[in-house]
């Protein structure tokens, strides 16, 4: 599923790739590079067409990888599992804060810091 950040205007492509607007326009118009820059994914023929970042990123990865920003680090699977567990626990505490068995849970499985 595409998100808002997946659709870019020419200025946004320039910003993400560290290029000038003119340079991006030249790539789009085939005046620079191989002439195979991706076509707009939406609003073709309009004043501000939109490009798919995935298509643009793939093009730059193939032709000019140095222009791409580094991918942000992704959290580990273990980190995400712990976050999900804590969110689940927080929700259970919110829904039933006065249950008598919470003290047994704390004694059976204390949270370690």
pLDDT tens string 35-76: 889 999 887 767 789 999 999 999 999 998 888 877 777 888
CATH architecture of structural domain 1-96: Orthogonal Bundle (1.10)
Confirm if 18 and 67 have CB atoms less than 8 A apart: yes
Band of residue 1 on the pLDDT scale cut at 50, 70, 90? very low
How many angstroms separate the CA atoms of 112 and 101, rounded?
19
Mean pLDDT for all residues in the chain: 87
Nearest-10 Cα torsion for 13, 16, 20, 26 = -40
Whole-number Å distance between alpha carbons of 85 and 33: 49
Q: What is the pLDDT of residue 81?
A: 93
Kindly list the domain boundaries of the chain, sorted by start residue: 1-96
> 84 pLDDT exceeds 60?
yes
pTM: 0.57
Q: Is 73 helix (H, G, I), strand (E, B) or coil?
A: coil
Share of the chain above pLDDT 70, in %: 93
Only one residue has tokens 């620079």, namely 32
């Amino acid at each position: 599923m595409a998100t808002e950040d997946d659709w870019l205007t020419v200025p946004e492509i320039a910003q993400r790739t560290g290029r000038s607007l003119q340079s991006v326009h030249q790539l789009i118009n085939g005046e620079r590079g191989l002439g195979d820059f991706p076509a707009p994914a939406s609003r073709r023929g309009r004043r501000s067409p939109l490009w798919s970042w995935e298509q643009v990123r793939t093009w730059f990865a193939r032709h000019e990888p140095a222009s791409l920003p580094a991918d942000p680090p992704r959290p580990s699977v273990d980190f995400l599992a712990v976050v999900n567990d804590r969110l689940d626990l927080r929700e259970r505490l919110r829904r039933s804060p006065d249950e008598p068995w919470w003290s047994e849970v704390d004694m059976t499985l204390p949270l370690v810091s």
